Amino acid sequence: MLTCYAPDLHPGQPAYTLSEEESKHAVRVLRLGSGAPVALVDGRGGRYQAVVADANPKRCQLRLTAHEAVLPRSYVTHVAVAPTKNLDRMEWFVEKAVEVGVERISFLRCARSERRELKLERLEKIAVSALKQSGQAWLPQLDELVDFAPFVAAAEAATTFIAHLEEGERTALAQVAAAGPGCCVLIGPEGDFTPEEIALALGRGIRPVTLGPSRLRTETAALAAVFTAQLVRER
């Protein structure tokens, strides 16, 4: 069944008109006709069932038949990552993180970051596509790129962890992430966080964690953090 994104849909509406892009895909590509079933998600916890009322390729009209409200998860997974120079790798991470289940993604500008600017439009489209593909009901929050220091200063230290590669004692994320209502994991750029950034985070009470024995790429480490939090959530 086709799943469409309907961010402006609200419970109680009897009908909904798909965007021109979604209409073209439904009618011209999938050849849906009148009476064909369609699923809708609003990204705010709402899932809807509908049928095609008018198979117009520019303004496909749907008749809504059912609504389900999905409660937000009680355990919130937040990953703050320094975007890679190759944006394709961040796009891959966002897609997979949404599929697995992440509530928030922040982007950090660190001392060793090779990417100093970031436009969210493309990443937001990828997040929406992954939302539809995976059947999720909540669209994750994607934050604008911010400097590391002010982000750390505003972080909730008790539930924030830094995954760095410097020598020193680190605890497995799975062992400490379950203690609170969620976790925020900081993932550095390709060259890792600087010693000064690590010291700043530790000075704020943010605890160092490890994601395993392997040295991971930035986007792989970020996804590993999401997977680990998902396992914690399931337990």
DSSP state of 7: T
Lowest mean pLDDT among 13-27, 41-55, 173-187, 214-228: 173-187
| Residues 30-43: b if buried by 16+ CB within 10 A, e if exposed | eebeeebebbbbbb
Which pLDDT value is given to residue 234? 78
Q: What is the pLDDT of residues 91-116, one digit of tens each?
A: 999 999 999 999 999 999 999 999 99
Which pLDDT value is given to residue 22? 92
Domain boundaries 76-234, corresponding CATH code: 3.40.1280.10
Q: What is the pLDDT of residues 137-158, one digit of tens each?
A: 999 999 999 999 999 999 999 9
pLDDT tops 80 at residue 235: no
Which pLDDT value is given to residue 125? 96
Contact 114, 190 (CB under 8 A): yes
61-69 and 15-17: which strand pairing?
antiparallel
Contact 78, 110 (CB under 8 A): no
Contact 51, 60 (CB under 8 A): no
pLDDT tops 90 at residue 233: no
- Domain ranges (residues) in the chain: 2-69, 76-234
| Alpha-carbon 221 to chain mean position | 15
Which pLDDT value is given to residue 177? 85
Mean pLDDT for the chain? Answer: 95
Q: What is the pLDDT of residues 64-77, one digit of tens each?
A: 999 999 999 889 99
Which pLDDT value is given to residue 96? 98
What string of DSSP letters covers 42-68? -SBSEEEEEEEEE--SSS-EEEEEEEE
Which pLDDT value is given to residue 73? 87
Kindly indicate the confidence band of residue 168, based on its pLDDT and cuts at 50, 70 and 90. Answer: confident
Identify the CATH homologous superfamily for domain 2-69. Answer: Hypothetical PUA domain-like; domain 1 (2.40.240.20)
Which pLDDT value is given to residue 232? 84
Q: What is the pLDDT of residues 184-224, one digit of tens each?
A: 999 999 999 999 999 999 999 999 999 988 899 999 999 99
Residue 217, SS3 per DSSP: coil
pLDDT tops 80 at residue 179: no
Q: Please state, for a pLDDT cut of 90, what percent of the chain lies above it.
A: 88
